[in-house]
Chain A
Amino acid sequence: MTDDHVDIHKLAAEIEAEVRARRAAGEYPPGFERELDRLFDRFAPPEVSNDFDAALERAEDLVIVDPVIPVASRSPVLGVVKRVMSKLLGWYHVWLAQQISALATAINTALRLLGARVVELEHATGDIARARGVGARIAAVRDDGAWEAPVTNALHGCAGRIALVECGDGALLGALVSSGLDAYGVEPRAAIADLALGRGLEVRVDDGAAHLHAVGATALGGLVLRGLVERAPLGELLLLIDAAAAKLAPGGRLVICSLRREVWGHDATAAEADLVAGHPLHPDTWEAVLPDLGFADVQVHPAGAGAYVVTAIRADE
């Protein structure tokens, strides 16, 4: 063993800092991580939790039960046994599989009919789901410069990783990283995420809520919410704040960047306002709800004429 004792925690932090610096300097092939993610996703079953059509398609893929018994085995002897069993029991499996497939097909058909009726209802009520789908694809274009200073100030000295959910083209994320913060971005729209990746930033292409769901409990030192706080309907917004409370470490910092209600629907946000279910909340609303959702020291900071920033601290249990 060498005489020089290494501080292992410090070493891990240095490695992470080195990777961030090299990433920022453009030393890593920019599309490589995205390509790895895309490649694995090609082989993974689709995530179906929120998409009725995808869930139904997945069910239809599985509806025919395969009567062919798998006989492959690492053991030659077991392989022979399996083949013999397969021959002996094959007719029985076919009989069972046909009945199960028939039942599953009937259920799927009923679901398909139900789905069609729901679509008709949606059309009758103005096809809200379709409009939301279109709205979700529109980038949240914001003047990040307006809230750069209050956000950076709020996160100054923040310990631990900081997630910026809906980082857009990375302007705000870049400012956070440049100020020495350990921040990464999440952006659901791949084309927009590519702009942020092009700045050498660490960006996950993922839905903001889904990403927060996957993050370990109390794993984050800070969380910045941008874009989706104006677009999500109130129920989803509350779930998002619940997730933020669960994923921030005690003492962790929540920062909400929001437009003011008065400017929503004007200029760059006109299409969003027409298509999405949500709208910006009044700052007073955040002040009223955050203490009930596990946050303390809630403060509202102005950010130019049409925007504001809310900061809060994850309260200790």
Chain B
Amino acid sequence: MTAVHQFVPTLAPRDAVGGHYLAVQETLRAAGYRSDIYSYEAKDEYKRLARPFTSFDGDARAAPTWLLYHSSVGSPVADFVAAREEPLIVDYHNITPAPFFSRWEPALAGALMKGRRQLAELETRAELGLADSAFNAQELTELGYRRTSVVPILLDVAALDSAPPDPATLERLSGAKNAGGIDWLFVGRLAPNKAQHDLVKAFAAYRRLYDERARLHLVGASSSHQYEMALSAFVDALGLADAVDITGPVSAGALTAYFETADVYVVASEHEGFCVPLLEAMHHRVPIVAYSAAAVPETLGAAGLLLEAKDPYTIATAVHCVATDAGVRTQLVEAGTERLRAFDIDKSKRKLLEAIEPVVGTP
């Protein structure tokens, strides 16, 4: 029996990529491949799902054995798979370019640079490069990867309904909404490349031009303490502390509550390799306004108002249009529902097998 074992830097719950690893394992096993997960670290309830990567010493029960490495920031796992003899597949979820972090978190910038160096070095070993998006596949091609396939992240959108809205969060958000004003939402780690500071600028312009009762919710853990501090100070200095909610990490139920009360999902990111929260917004029927950068236009398709300019007035005006034109809002929501079908998990699982089977052979 052929084995395709996954090697990952970190396996963590409540993480889209973590869910992807598990869905890949389920898909491979269902197709008849042997498939285990080896990681540098596994967190919380996922600890029992992965083995330490250093414990892998070949798979005597499988012939042949393939390694599937999920590329990320600089990791000893990359060096480990590079040194192994088994044939290799690289799954690339994108690595944020280091310059986004160099002024904020120099150490993290170093880790990102190392991750990209490792990705480039694995090119000579990789028989196949998988990528979440054509944008990511293009980066692999530029690094010299000869054979690439686009396989969207395996996200079970239906599972998003398994977490009902957290009652306390829902009550708080609904209470604020009753006082008037619309709710802007962005979900993603606080990070310079996600440009939450540009969202705050656009939000400030929106309040000045259109609706001074509006609120902005920035949901997600932080990738940079420095950036988080600067963002908070910026919000305070603008006098928007009561209107901008920087939540930190939230539970699945609280996240559902944020989506259910949002009037518009707004993205100002400079760099995204896929942007999973766009799919979550589509699922929760929240209209999307997004700056057209990196993989965002590819993931969004026609399911959002895609802007070439990201100055505060343009974003604010686009949000105002979505907030006040019921026809546009409805059309965007319907387009989102339609777009979501392209990322149906069963369809993506088939794409994964169609990409892998010609390379590794049948189970």
Contact = CB atoms under 8 A, between A and B. Distances in A.
Interface of A: 1-2, 4-6, 8-9, 11-12, 15-16, 18-19, 22-23, 28-29, 32-33, 36-37, 39-40, 42-49, 74, 160-161, 182, 184, 202, 213-214, 216, 219
Nearest to A160: B308
A43 B229 contact: yes
A263 B294 CA distance: 43
Contacts of A184: 309
Given A8-B332, A22-B313, A74-B248, A161 B327 contact: no
The 3 A-B pairs of least Cβ separation, nearest first, read A2-B327, A43-B230, A43-B233
Nearest to B227: A44
B87 interface: no
Interface stretch (B110-118, B173-181, B260-268, B299-307): B299-307
A19 B205 contact: no
5 contacts: A1-B334, A4-B327, A37-B201, A45-B104, A214-B270
Interface in B157-200: 197, 200
A68 B231 CA distance: 24
A45 to B, nearest CB: 5
Contacts of B318: 12, 15
A164 to B, nearest CB: 15
Given A36-B204, A45-B103, A45-B104, A2 B308 contact: no
Given A22-B313, A216-B270, 12 more contacts: A4-B327, A16-B307, A23-B313, A28-B313, A33-B311, A36-B205, A39-B234, A40-B201, A44-B103, A45-B104, A74-B248, A161-B308
Contacts of B302: 8-9
A202 B248 CA distance: 34
Contacts of A12: 305-308, 318
B148 to A, nearest CB: 16
Given A16-B314, A47-B103, A9 B307 contact: no
Nearest to A62: B106
Contacts of B99: 213
B293 interface: yes
A44 B330 contact: no
Interface in B119-147: none
B18 interface: no
B234 A40 contact: yes
Contacts of A48: 103
Given A2-B326, A6-B327, A18-B317, A202 B104 contact: no
A12 B328 CA distance: 11
A224 to B, nearest CB: 17
A32 B205 contact: yes
Contacts of B362: none
Interface of B: 99, 102-104, 197, 200-201, 204-205, 208, 226, 229-231, 233-234, 237-238, 248, 270, 292-294, 302, 304-309, 311-314, 317-318, 321, 326-328, 330-332, 334-335
Contacts of B304: 8
Secondary structure of the B side of the interface? helix
Contacts of B201: 33, 36-37, 40
Nearest to B290: A12
A76 to B, nearest CB: 15
Nearest to B303: A8
B104 A33 contact: no
B330 A1 contact: yes
A165 B306 CA distance: 25
A29 B230 CA distance: 25
Contacts of B335: 8
A9 B201 CA distance: 24
A289 to B, nearest CB: 23
Nearest to B305: A12
Contacts of B226: 45
B298 to A, nearest CB: 13
B208 A202 contact: no
Nearest to B326: A2
B102 A1 contact: no
A39 B237 contact: yes
Contacts of A11: 305, 321, 328
B231 to A, nearest CB: 8
Contacts of B233: 43
Nearest to A28: B313
Contacts of B317: 15, 18-19
* Max chain A Cβ within 10 angstroms of own Cβ: one of B234, B311, B332, B334: B311
Contacts of B208: 29, 32
Most buried by B among A1, A22, A182, A202: A1
A161 B311 contact: no
Contacts of A33: 201, 205, 311-313
B331 A8 contact: yes
Given A39-B234, A219-B293, A1 B248 contact: no
A40 B328 contact: no
A44 B292 CA distance: 24
Nearest to B135: A217
Contacts of B102: 49
Give the most central of A6, A15, A18, A160: most B CB within 10 Å: A15
Contact of A6 (B270, B306, B328): B328
